[in-house]
Amino acid sequence: MTNEPAVSASNFIREAVEEDLRISRFDHVQTRFPPEPNGYLHIGHAKAICIDFGIAEAFGGKCNLRFDDTNPVKEETEYVDAIKEDIRWLGYDWGDQELFASDYFETLYGYAVELIKKGKAYVDDLSADQIKEYRGTLTEPGKESPYRNRSVEENLDIFDRMRRGEFPEGACVLRAKIDMAASNINMRDPTMYRILHASHHRTGSKWCIYPMYDFAHGQSDSMEGVTHSLCDLAYEDHRPLYNWFIEELGIFKTRQIEFARLNVTYTILSKRFLKQLVSENLVRGWDDPRMPTLCAMRRRGYPAQAIRNFIDQVGVAKNENLIDISLLEFNVRNLLNKTASRVLAVLNPIKVVITNYPKGQVEELEAVNNPEDPSAGTRTLQFSRELYIERDDFREVPPPKYFRLSPGREVRLRYGYIIKCEDFVKNQKTGEIEEIHCTYDPQTRGGYALDGRKVQGTIHWVSAVHAVEAEVRMYDRLFTIQNPNKVEEDKSYLDYVSPDSLKVLTGCRVEPSLANVKPGQQFQFERKGFFCVDLDTKPGQLIFNLTVPLRDTWAKIESK
RNA sequence: UGGGGCAUGGUGCAACGGCAGCACACCAGACUUUGGAUCUGAGGAUCUUGGUUCGAAUCCAGGUGCCCCAGCCA
């Protein structure tokens, strides 16, 4: 792999794996990433992916991609394809090990029969409600189902008929016979199979009984020779059951290790909630750049490597965590700073007329493409009498420490000239500044003050006649509070969706070198931020996404 | 009130009986033709109470707090 490793630092999982190898519990390392194809991957999955593939890679092992597709009513091929694309984009490769739990349905069925024969599983005719009732509570033991002691023959017969479709959904389930008084509720005769007369995205109508997660996951791991099954802390309570099935079946013993899932400030990483944002049109889709999904981050211009670096820095532990989104943004900036070409783009234009500049004259000026990377070369900028600058870069009454343009003051136009504001036109009704009149100093071509005079401010600009129009989509955090997962009792995370998360700017003016860019291309709009060309861009209709803004020291000063 | 898990600066992660360190964030300064980047510096943490020890974030005991578990979801 050519990418830098994610999860490079030592952590408790690496230590555990090292120990397993040292004591010869295993002589190699095999992991797996097991998504359920019922939604799109998000930044939380990225952590799991980096850990699963990263651990394998670190120990010279392999990582399988296995779709955990045991619930046909929720799963779709569309998601399978999207998930594969996202993992590949992150930079990981599962070789030919693209596997599906549904490929194991026949084997799993055989395992179930085996357990029935051992007297370790039975068909229960209790209704879902009754099973729930019989399960007991967190503090009281459950009680045994009246069907718990059916004969092996009867169980075998009914289970076979379940498979053949003789019963409607909910009529019965196959349960493991463990211990209804177990302190761990997962051990109170968990359901192994349920009846679902649903078409499966891969097996079609071949099956009408489907294994539950607990009866599918561990055995799938085992069949694949997975040595280390790394998963969410949520499955800690399931480990005894995971081990129980493997033990009773006498199959290859894998080791499950759990780690804390990722949480990020100002965002939500629950599939259910993300689905809701999409279905209620609070965002424009799964790949809306405000979403924490990988496809959204890709569309927004977050480099995959930046995400991997972020995951690496987040670390791996068992503590519940809430990572500051600024760490992700730092990584995005850090990477883009080295790679993105600089361009001049005016997001909120106001016209500047250089009154002493000859009408009709056009000069060509040289601009550096990337000060961080001399090999990126230079390009040419057109300068003329009428320009656009950023509305923010002019103040009729400049506040203290404001270095930009204001009446009587000088400012440098990047790569251009030093200009002085002589006058401005104000709409008397609205109070809006409509035009600024300046003079330029012809001795300062390129922006150099040969007389040594100090000009504090440098602003960006475009030539009015040469500039190209564009739409720019400015994104901000989707939620107004740090942790939308924890809200006041009578509130929902939906109450905290930010009304300002998307601002569409039209009539922006960008330098002409951007006229023919392609979706996905990334740039730094100087002094503004990193932007990328959106998928919606068509010939003659430029659309940019704000990837991440530049740090804005002035905004900080001004807000004080 | 059952079971499982976790407690280190604002947020994360390290330190594995021997000077509590790193990153992000925050603050101050230098530099600057991006108020970007870069550079320098500062502040700020071991949940609590006991015990073991020459020495405890680390080991032991008791408290406290937080998270997860009662799907025919994964």
Q: Which of A301, A373, A391, A311 is nearest to A337 (CA)?
A: A373
pTM above 0.90, yes or no: yes
Per-residue pLDDT tens over the stretch A308-341: 999 999 999 999 999 999 999 999 999 999 999 9
Label residue A447 by pLDDT band (50, 70, 90): very high
Chain B positions under 7 Å from a protein CB?
Answer: 1-8, 10-16, 23-27, 33-38, 66-74
pLDDT in tens, A433-446: 999 999 999 999 99
**What is the token pair recorded at A387?**
């320009």
Q: What is the CA radius of gyration of chain A?
A: 31
**Nearest residue, CA→C1' of B7:** A319
Kindly determine whether the C-beta of residue A524 is less than 7 Å away from any atom of nucleic acid strand B.
Answer: yes
Does A152 contact strand B, using a CB cutoff of 7 Å?
Answer: no
- Calculate the angstrom distance between C1' of B48 and CA of A321: 22
Closest among A454, A427, A422, A426 to A438, alpha carbons compared: A422
User: Which parts of A30-188 fold into alpha helices (H)?
Assistant: 43-58, 77-90, 105-117, 128-134, 152-163
Specify the pLDDT at position A1. 38
Rounded-to-10 torsion of CA A186, A214, A40, A487: 0
List the A255 CA – B5 C1' distance (angstroms): 18
Q: Report the pLDDT averaged over residues A382-406.
A: 97
Mean pLDDT of chain A: 96
| Mean pLDDT value of segment A46-57 | 98
**The two structure tokens encoding residue A245:** 């099935």
**Residue A6 pLDDT > 80:** no
CA distance A471 to A286: 21
Give the distance, in angstroms, between the CA of residue A199 and the centroid of all CA atoms in the same chain: 30
Angle separating helix axes A105-117 and A152-163, nearest 10 degrees: 160
pLDDT tens digit string along A473-493? 999 999 999 999 998 888 899
A257 Cβ nearer than 7 Å to chain B strand: no
Whether A255 contacts A31, CB under 8 Å:
no
Asked if strand B comes closer than 7 Å to A32 Cβ, the answer is no
Is A454 part of the annotated catalytic residue set? no
Sequence-separated (6 or more) residues with CB below 8 Å from residue A555: none
Spanning CA of A506 to C1' of B36, the rounded length in angstroms is 24
A346-365 confidence digits (pLDDT tens):
999 999 999 999 999 999 99
Helix or strand (DSSP H, E) at A504: strand A502-510
pLDDT at A560: 79
> Does the CB of A481 sit below 7 A from strand B?
no
Instruction: Give CA–CA dist A376/A369, Å, rounded.
Output: 6
pLDDT, average across residues A28-45: 98
pLDDT of residue A490: 84
Do residues A65 and A316 make contact, with C-beta atoms less than 8 angstroms apart? no
Q: Distance between alpha carbon A554 and the CA centroid of its chain, in Å?
A: 30
Using a 7 Å CB cutoff, list residues 445-464 of A near strand B. Answer: 446-448, 457-459
pLDDT at A265: 98
| Per-residue model confidence (pLDDT) at position A277 | 97
ipTM for this model? 0.97
User: Are the C-beta atoms of residues A206 and A200 closer than 8 Å to each other?
Assistant: yes
Active site residue A511: no
Average pLDDT over residues A100-113: 98
The domains located in chain A, with CATH, are 12-264 (3.40.50.620), 271-339+470-559 (2.40.240.10), 343-466 (2.40.240.10)
pLDDT single digits (tens) A233-290 = 999 999 999 999 999 999 999 999 999 999 999 999 999 999 999 999 999 999 999 9
Q: How far is residue A189's CA from residue A375's CA, in Å, rounded to a whole number?
A: 66
Residue A526 catalytic? no
Name residue A528's beta-bridge partners: none
A406 CB neighbours strand B below 7 A? no
**Measured CA A15 to C1' B54 distance, in angstroms:** 32
Query: What is the pLDDT averaged over residues A439-455?
Result: 94
Distance A318 CA to B47 C1' (A): 17
CB of A156 closer than 8 Å to CB of A113: yes
A261 in Cβ contact with A142 (< 8 Å)? no
Q: What is the DSSP letter of A72?
A: T
Give the residue from A36, A26, A30 showing the smallest Cα distance to A55: A30
Lowest-confidence segment of A49-58, A105-114, A450-459, A515-524 by average pLDDT = A450-459
Exposure letters A504-530 (e unless 16+ CB within 10 A, then b): eeeebbbbbbbeebeeeebbbbbbbbb
What DSSP line would sit under A216-254, residue for residue? HHHHHHHHTT-SEEEEEGGGGGGHHHHHHHHHHHT-PPP
Q: How far apart are the first and last CA of chain A?
A: 47
Q: Which of A18, A36, A422, A435 is catalytic?
A: A36
- Contact (Cβ atoms closer than 8 angstroms) between residue A222 and residue A200: no
pLDDT in tens, A139-184: 999 999 999 999 999 999 999 999 999 999 999 999 999 999 999 9
